[in-house]
Chains A and B, each alone.
Chain A
Amino acid sequence: MSAYLTGLIVILCLNIIIAYSVFLPAAAGQLNLGAAGFMIIGAYMDAYLNSADDGLGLPMLLSVPAAALFTALIGFLVSFPILRTRGIYMILATFAFAEIVAGIVLNLEVVGGASGFPVSSHAELEDLLPVTIGVILFGFYLISTRFGLAMRSIHDDESVAILFGVNTRLIQVGAFTIGAFLGGLAGALYGHQFDYIEVQNWGILFSIFVLLYVLIGGTQTPWGPLIGALFFTFVPEMLRTFGEATGWELIGELRFAVFGAIIVGMMVLRPEGIMTRTFLELLFRKVPRRSPQNPPNNMEGV
C-alpha cells in the first residue's frame, strides 16, 4: 500500500471516529459544533499521560482509554449547562466551549502552550483500524438498543418522546457524554498517528467540517456518519485526481469550492442527508414500495 493511500486511510479512520462522536448527540437532536474541543482535551490528556519526560509515562494502551474517559467526564460535566440550550443556541454554546478549551490549552505551559506538544509513542494504521471498526460497530449497536430508540424518538419529536415517558434529559446527557468519549478517543489517536499536537489544528473550520460530515451523511441512521466521513475524505481527493488526470487543473485547484457547491446542491436536493431511513428500507427491501394502489400497511414488519 502506498504511503499516500495509508495516509488517506488514517485520516479516514480519524474522521469516522470523530463523526460518530458528533453523530450520537445529533441522533438525539443535539447539534454539536464543538468537536474540536473534545478532540483537543483527548489529544492533550493522552499526550500528557503518555509522555515519559513531562508526564506520567503510561503506555499507550492505558493512556488512550484514560484520556477518552477523562474527556467523557468533561463532556458529562459540561452537558448540563450546554443542554439547557437548544437549536441555534446549542450550536453557539458548543462552539464557545470548543474555543474556550482551545484558549485554555493554548495557555497551559505544562503541555507546551502555543508551540505544541510532542507525543511519545507512535501507533500504526494496524492499531487504528480495529478501533475504528469497533467504533462503527458500537455506533450501530447503540442505535439498535432501547437507548438508541429513545435517542431517535427525541430527534424526531421531543414533545412526543416526553409524552411517551422517555427521560429526555438522561438520554441527551448520555448521548453527549458518549460523544465526548469518542471525541477524546479520536484526539488521543490523532496524537499517536502524527506524533505532534497543536491547538491550531483544531480551529473553527474543523468543527464545522465534522458537523457537515454528519449532516451530509444524515442523522437518521448510523450509516450517516460513516458515509459522511467517506464522502468528505475521498471527494476532495477524487476531484484532485480527476483534475490531474484530465488536465483541467482548475478543478484540482478549486476542489474545495466544487465541494462547497456539492454541499449547497445536496441541501437543496436532499436536505435530510445522503442516508435516510426510507432510503435504507428501499435498499434492503424491508417494506414494499409504497404506491396509491398498495397503501402502506403499518402492521407489516412489526
Chain B
Amino acid sequence: MLLAQQIINGLMLGSVYVMVAVAFTLTIGMLNFLNFTIPALFMVAAMITWAATAAGFHWLVGASLGMVVAIIASLIIERFTYRYMKAKYGDATEHALPLVSSLGFLIIFEHVVIMIWGTDPMSFNSPFANAQFVIAGLIFAIPQLISLALSVALVFALSLLLKKTQLGRALRSIAEKPDTATLMGVDVGRIVPVVFMMTGFLCALAGILFTINYKNVSPYIGDHVATNAIAGMVIGGLGNIWGAIAGGLIIGMVEVLSIHFWGAEIIKVPVWGLMLLILVFRPTGLFGHTRIGKGKF
C-alpha cells in the first residue's frame, strides 16, 4: 500500500518535471539550444506567486503576474541569446555560446531574486491545502491530479499545434534547417520568439503548480527541478515532446522510488546513472528516432 502511494507520488512529481522537460526539449529540438534560463523562469514565477500571495493578494493574481513576468523575461532572453548567436567560425565550442549567455541570465535572475527576498526557503499557504480524496486508502491530492492532467493536456495541444497548424509547420521547418526555412518564406526572426514564449509559459505554469503542490519556495528550487527535467528529457529523447512526458514521469518515479527503497542520500546515482547510460548507449533516447540529432549535435 505504501508502495502504491509512492508510485502515485512519483507520477505527481513527474508531472512537474514533464512541463519543464517539454520546455527544454522544445528549445533543443527547434533551435538546438540548451536553455539554462529555464530554472530561473521556473523559480521567478514561483517566487512571484508566493510574494503576491504573502502580500495579501488572491493567489490567482500572483500566478498571473508570475506568468506574465516569466514570458516577458523569456522574450528578453531571446533577444540576447539565440538572436545573436549565428555560427561565425564553425569551430567546436561555438554551439555552446547561447548556452553561456543563458547561464549568464540564470546568474542574473537568481541574484536579483536573492537580493529582493533573500535565500531562505519560504512556506506558501496553499489555498488547496486539504483538497484531497482517498480511494482504497490511497491519497490523491486534487491540485496534483489537476497538474498531471494539465501537463498531459498541454503537451497534447502542443503536439497538435506542431502537426496541424501553419505555425507548427513553420516551427518544424526551422527545426529542420533555419536557412532553408528562411528561403521557404518563414520569417525566422518572428517565429523564434514564439518558442521562447512557450518556454516561458510552460516554466511559469510548472513553477506555479510546484509552489501550490509542495507549499514552499526558495531561489534555488529551479535548479533541482530543471536538472531532473534535463535527465527526463534525455531519457525520452532530445527534441521529442512525447518522449519528454515519458521521461519526466520516469524520473519522477525513479526519484520517489529510490528514496523509498534506499533513502534520500543516494538519489543522484540512479537518476544520473540512468541518464548517462541512455546518453552513451542510446543517445536518441528511449522514444527518439534516429533522425534526432543527426548532423545537428
Interface residues on B, range: 35 or more
How many A residues have CB within 8 A of the partner chain?
53
B101 and A91 form a contact (CB under 8 A) = no
A260 and B111 form a contact (CB under 8 A) = yes
User: A158: which of B92, B101, B268 is its contact (CB, 8 Å)?
Assistant: B92
B269 and A107 form a contact (CB under 8 A) = yes
Q: Mark A119-162, 1 if CB is under 8 A from B, else 0.
A: 00000000000000000000000000000000000111110000
Bound complex: CA A199 to CA B148 (Å): 34
Distance from B145 Cβ to chain A, minimum over Cβ atoms (Å): 30
A171 within 8 A of B: no
A263 and B93 form a contact (CB under 8 A) = no
B227 within 8 A of A: yes
B93 and A155 form a contact (CB under 8 A) = yes
B107 within 8 A of A: yes
Chain A residues near B85: list those with CB within 8 A: 267, 271
B234 within 8 A of A: yes
Q: Mark A258-282, 1 if CB is under 8 A from B, else 0.
A: 0111111001100110000000000
Known: A158-B92, A212-B103. A92 touches B230 (CB 8 A): yes
A156 and B280 form a contact (CB under 8 A) = no
B92 and A261 form a contact (CB under 8 A) = no
B265 and A208 form a contact (CB under 8 A) = no
B96 and A264 form a contact (CB under 8 A) = no
Bound complex: CA A94 to CA B77 (Å): 26
Chain A residues near B111: list those with CB within 8 A: 254, 256-257, 260
Bound complex: CA A114 to CA B266 (Å): 11
Known: A81-B280, A86-B297, A257-B107. A103 touches B275 (CB 8 A): no
- The chain B residues found within 8 Å of chain A, CB to CB, are 28, 32, 34, 36, 80-81, 84-85, 88-101, 103-108, 110-112, 115, 223, 227, 230-231, 234, 238, 265-269, 271-273, 275-276, 279-280, 283, 293, 297
24 interchain pairs, CB-CB under 8 A: A30-B92, A31-B96, A85-B283, A86-B297, A87-B297, A89-B279, A92-B275, A93-B276, A93-B280, A96-B231, A96-B276, A100-B273, A100-B276, A103-B269, A107-B269, A113-B265, A215-B97, A260-B104, A263-B107, A264-B101, A264-B108, A267-B98, A267-B100, A271-B97
Known: A256-B110, A264-B104; 15 extra A-B contacts, CB below 8 A, are A86-B297, A87-B297, A88-B238, A96-B276, A113-B265, A155-B91, A204-B223, A211-B100, A212-B103, A254-B115, A257-B108, A267-B97, A267-B100, A267-B104, A271-B85
